């Protein structure tokens, strides 16, 4: 993808959507791109639906507004899709990346998704690699596979800084999701 790419992350409080948005932006910055990351704050509590945002561009980003028409939507927890319209405002050529065990046709039909759809079973990968169903680092691998916005190695450095002690398992989960993502 070239030009500015705006990403909206959907998850539940405590699942790491904000951390992923920040790590992704920092990885882009370290690659010489411009990037921003910010959360959408409301009455969030652990387990409540949350959103976070990332912008990546080759040139300086002058915008300081929220993202209402994302290019990419990343869904960390598929249960959020029953509570929130994750495709709201998605650009016509937008992409939805979902953590799910369901097939693309089944998921698209169930949630009336007409946009391009990419899926990965991040819950299974996180459980097998990390030992916990925390999918934020796993979904970053799916996002790289679907967009190529940053390098996996750049994200691995961010995970290493952010999660000392458990970084290796998270990096392995991210790389595995990259391989297993269905485009």
What is the domain extent for residue 106? 5-180
Note the pLDDT of residue 155: 97
Q: Per residue in 117-153, pLDDT tens?
A: 999 999 999 999 999 988 999 999 999 999 999 999 9
Mean pLDDT, residues 36-48:
78
- Crossing angle (nearest 10°) for helices 136-147 and 17-30: 50
Note the pLDDT of residue 40: 84
CB 110 within 8 A of CB 104: no
pLDDT at 44 over 70: no
Q: Per residue in 74-98, pLDDT tens?
A: 999 999 999 999 999 999 999 999 9
Burial of 104 (0-12, 13-18, 19+ CB in 10 A): middle
Structurally, the chain folds into a number of domains equal to: 1
Q: Which residue has the higher pLDDT, 47 or 156?
A: 156
pLDDT at 71 over 70: yes
pLDDT at 116 over 90: yes
Mean pLDDT, residues 11-37:
95
Burial of 44 (0-12, 13-18, 19+ CB in 10 A): middle
Which DSSP letter does residue 182 get? B
CATH code, domain with 169: 3.40.920.10
């Amino acid at each position: 993808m070239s030009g500015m790419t705006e990403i909206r992350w959907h998850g539940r409080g405590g699942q790491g959507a904000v951390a992923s948005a920040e790590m992704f932006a920092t990885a882009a910055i370290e690659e010489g791109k411009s990037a921003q990351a910010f959360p959408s704050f409301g009455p969030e509590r652990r387990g409540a639906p949350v959103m976070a945002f990332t912008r990546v561009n080759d040139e300086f980003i002058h915008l300081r507004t929220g993202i209402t028409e994302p290019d990419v939507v990343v869904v960390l927890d598929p249960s959020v899709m029953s509570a929130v319209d994750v495709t709201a405002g998605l650009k016509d050529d937008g992409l939805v990346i979902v953590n799910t065990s369901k097939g693309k046709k089944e998921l698209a039909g169930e949630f009336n998704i007409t946009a391009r759809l990419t899926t990965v079973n991040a819950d299974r990968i996180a459980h097998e690699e990390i030992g916990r169903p925390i999918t934020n680092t796993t979904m970053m691998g799916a996002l790289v596979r679907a967009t190529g916005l940053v390098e996996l190695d750049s994200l691995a450095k961010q995970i290493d800084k952010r999660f000392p002690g458990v970084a290796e398992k998270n990096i392995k989960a991210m790389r595995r999701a990259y391989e297993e993502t269905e485009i």
